[in-house]
Chain A
Amino acid sequence: MRVIPALLIKENLAYKGVKFSNYKYLGDPINIIRIFNDKQVDEMTLLDIGNNSIINYELIKKISNEAFFPISYGGGIDSLNKIEKVLYCGYERVIVNSYQYVDDSFLQNAIREFGSSTIIAAVDVKKSLFGKYRIYTNSGTNKINKNLDLLLDELDQKGVSEVIINSIDNDGTKKGYDYELIKLVENKLVNTNFMISGGSRGIADFEICKKGGIVSACIAGSCFVFQGKHNSVLINYSV
């Protein structure tokens, strides 16, 4: 199992939020990458949470050029041309989120063009008042009318490299992953690896996930960048 720090960027700077809002400024992403190099992180995900209909290729190129570990990029991916450009900036894999619901065949087209190990699908979910998981897009702002079970069945057939499951409710709360959600996804994604994201407390969650042997990777944000009850900015993680 892999442990993957997630870095969020907006207008050239790095942030981390809670439940997809209340973003706190972390610093210059390039400096963060240098620290991650020194700490020899295994892998990273980079997500642009800004107005990302336009991808900031200059910045993401600088970021990837600095990193001697693999990075997956997500944010604003809505055409094959953009995927091509992102790969050219030095990324191994590209994350598709909102646009998979706009164009049903987009993931398949992307897989055909760039290979199945290159394309990751991300799904953001939030529990409704009645305890049912709902799918959201556009950084959690837009609820879409699609059944999660059905979506996972479809994704399992499409042959994407991996699926990222993001719990909006747990994001940034450091209260632990949503294990009920993990269970649900496990039963649906029989052929496809998935990474869990949202709520990681750190080692405790990584150990549970490792023991369970279900998720292929734990994505974590806050526990790598904040420390103590005042959430002072750390960008480091000591065990």
Chain B
Amino acid sequence: MICIIDLGYGNITSIKKMLNKLGYEPIISNKLEDIKKAKKLILPGVGSFDNAMSNLIKLNLVDVLSHEVLVNKKHVLGICLGMQIMFDKSEEGVLPGLGWINGHVLKFEPDSINKKLKYPNIGWRDVESKLLNFYKKDKDRFYFVHNFYCKPYSKDDIFMNSYYGQNFCAAIIKENIIGVQFHPEKSHQFGMSFFTKFLEYESNTSFTN
């Protein structure tokens, strides 16, 4: 079972629809028992950092999610803000994040060389990816909309890099955890192929094996 975690709002229906198209029947839920039962978790996110965190707190999900991900090693995919809240903290808010990935989330600073560059970073960007058994594609292309980017403390956690005035981490990967800054659900066949790899990979095994 695939559970898309419902945080009140976010790109949930688009994710579900793309998964449907790929032949999966995910459920959308924020119930503890569904999260416990699920084999794969998807943590979506549109909104602000504190808003997403306070929703998780309100729904009493912080502990159960951390337990499923860190102890039970359940596969989780964080999308956009869903990736950012996996980190320790963000410049966008004051609440601590989930802390699954060591690092923080920073605001893009206007580029001193290329003054024309404006933020957020919106549009299709090329990404360069680490080659893994899980993911044998060194180049890909996805849709981004974001003002903040993730900076993991360990380079080992970086899965994909992209460039917008500066290099930034476009995706992280750590054992059973994947986070992507882009929106695979809005990235046509590139996104479909990405979801397929995540969903077909054998549950509870490390993505970096």
Q: Measuring CB to CB, which residues of chain A are less than 8 angstroms from any residue of chain B?
A: 2, 37, 40, 42-43, 61, 64-70, 84, 87-90, 92-93, 112-118, 161-162, 191-193, 213, 216-217
Contact = CB atoms under 8 A, between A and B. Distances in A.
B10 interface: yes
B124 A42 contact: yes
A117 B146 contact: yes
A90 B18 CA distance: 11
Interface string B10-27: 111110011001000000
Q: Which 5 A-B pairs have the closest CB atoms?
A: A90-B13, A117-B120, A90-B14, A70-B186, A115-B48
A211 to B, nearest CB: 13
Interface of B: 8-14, 17-18, 21, 46-49, 51, 81, 92, 110, 116, 118-120, 122-124, 143, 145-147, 183, 185-189, 191-192
Contacts of B92: 115
A114 B48 contact: yes
Nearest to B46: A87
A161 B118 CA distance: 10
Given A65-B13, A69-B143, A70-B183, A113 B120 contact: no
Question: Would you call the interface of chain A mostly helix, strand, loop, or mixed?
Answer: loop
Given A69-B188, A193-B118, A115 B81 contact: yes
B118 A65 contact: no
**Most chain A CB atoms below 10 A, which of B12, B119, B120, B187:** B120
A152 to B, nearest CB: 14
A171 to B, nearest CB: 23
Nearest to A64: B14
Given A90-B17, A191-B118, A69 B186 contact: yes
B123 A117 contact: no
Contacts of A161: 120, 122, 145, 147
Contacts of B48: 112-115
B126 to A, nearest CB: 14
Contact of A68 (B8, B110, B147, B188): B188
Given A114-B47, A115-B46, A88 B118 contact: no
A220 to B, nearest CB: 16
Contacts of A92: 11, 46, 145, 183, 186
Given A87-B46, A162-B120, 19 more contacts: A2-B123, A42-B123, A42-B124, A65-B14, A68-B14, A68-B185, A70-B143, A70-B145, A87-B11, A92-B145, A114-B47, A115-B81, A115-B92, A116-B120, A116-B147, A191-B118, A192-B118, A216-B122, A216-B123
Contact of B122 (A84, A115, A117): A117
B92 to A, nearest CB: 7
Contacts of B186: 67-70, 92
A88 to B, nearest CB: 5
A217 B122 CA distance: 10
A64 B9 CA distance: 14
Contacts of B49: 115
Contacts of B9: 84, 87-88, 114
Contacts of A113: 47-48, 51
A104 to B, nearest CB: 21
